[in-house]
Amino acid sequence: MASPHLARASSLVRGAFTVASGGFAGSVSAVTGLGGAVVFIPALSKLGYEARHIVGTAVVAVTGATAAGSFAYAQNGVSDVPAAVTVGCVGAACTPVGQLLAKRLSGKTLRKMLGGALILCSPSAMLKKHAEEVEEAGKDAKEGWAIKREREPATNTWEIVRNQFLDRHDKWGGWMEALRGEREMLALGVACGLLQGTVGVGGGVLVSAYLTGMTDMEVHRICGTALLATVLTNLAVSTAHFRNGNVKFRSAALLAGSAMACSYLVAKNLSLQIPEAHVKQFIVVALISSGVSMLK
């Protein structure tokens, strides 16, 4: 609902509110692994924009936040880059299908179904393993890899990402074998793309919820992977909104700029310092908040 105070406010006040909202959304995005739409959408609504401009502008802002945060997590070596790239590429390819479905199905109904699912699965975040448990399990699992090969420790972001892909190849014994072995990520990409194309937002929430409820990833890795997985999908959706004239450029620039700065700084310097128990609580609150917002 539009705020009457903001509607009568000067451009400077509205701009300050937009920047503050973007900074807060970027920080939330970096800590929880969600895109920040749960903050962007209410903020744009208070500014008095109509629905199509709210969604289009929010998607652009989410793209900025996820890109900056995912890069910071990758630099820290806590993202599952191969899984995220798989989900993102498949999701981007399926986004046009979701946009076609949006013309035939009720987006409101789909939002409510997703909202209910997010609320139901949110408690599973408290059951996630600690980093030490996952690291120990990973050492044991390496014994069963198809190709056993030792590599020098990575010294930069490129080497971190390269080693992750090579490890995936060695684990399954080939690239196609890796895709078949982790086909659930292909399915997740399809679901993510359909959701983004149909509803406009929610891909990051879906990826985070799935990784939380169905995998053994520790919480920081979930955040980094979810952010990176939705970058390509968000780019595809943003392109469509730009083409359809659904983006308010000034608000999008202010939201995306402040969100990118805060998302990168928080993900790079603060997120890994936050105790895992607190991150789990943040994820639960964010999933419930996102679910409630989608039920409205």
Tens of pLDDT, residue by residue over 159-181, are: 999 999 999 999 888 999 999 99
Tell me if 172 sits within 8 A of 146, measured CB to CB.
yes
Average pLDDT, the chain: 83
Helix H or strand E segment including 213 = helix 203-214
Q: Please tell me the distance from the alpha carbon of residue 278 to that of residue 25, in angstroms, as a whole number.
A: 18
Tell me if 49 sits within 8 A of 288, measured CB to CB.
no
| 185-189, 231-235, 277-281: segment of lowest average pLDDT | 277-281
Tell me if 59 sits within 8 A of 155, measured CB to CB.
no
* 3-10: long-range contacts, CB 8 A cutoff, minimum separation 24: 3/46, 3/47, 3/48, 6/46, 6/47, 6/48, 7/48
Residue 211: the pLDDT is 85
219 lies in some domain: yes
Residue 141: the pLDDT is 55
150 lies in some domain: no
Other Cβ atoms within 10 Å of 151 Cβ, number:
11
Rounded mean pLDDT, 35-41? 81
Which pLDDT band holds residue 233 (cuts at 50, 70, 90)? Answer: confident
Residue 73 has pLDDT above 80, yes or no: yes
Residue 150 has pLDDT above 70, yes or no: yes
238 lies in some domain: yes
Q: Please tell me the distance from the alpha carbon of residue 239 to that of residue 245, in angstroms, as a whole number.
A: 10
Measured over the CA atoms of residue 166, residue 212, residue 272 and residue 64, the dihedral's sign is positive
- The contacts of residue 282 (CB under 8 Å, 6+ apart) are 28, 31, 32, 274
Q: How far is CA 55 from the centre of its chain?
A: 16
268 lies in some domain: yes
Hey, which of 68-72, 134-138, 191-195, 212-216 has the most confident mean pLDDT?
68-72
93 lies in some domain: yes
- The contacts of residue 153 (CB under 8 Å, 6+ apart) are none
Residue 251: the pLDDT is 93
Rounded mean pLDDT, 211-218? 80
165 lies in some domain: yes
| Nearest partner of 38 among 128, 118, 127, 101, judged by Cα | 118
Structural domains counted in the chain: 1
Which pLDDT band holds residue 292 (cuts at 50, 70, 90)? Answer: confident
Residue 2: the pLDDT is 61
Residue 111: the pLDDT is 64
188 lies in some domain: yes
232 lies in some domain: yes
Structure tokens at 268: 């790079």
Structure tokens at 34: 């969600």
Residue 123 has what DSSP assignment? G
Tell me if 204 sits within 8 A of 26, measured CB to CB.
no
Q: CA angle, 59 as apex, 56 and 64 as ends, to 5°?
A: 135
For residue 236, what are the domain limits?
4-145+155-295
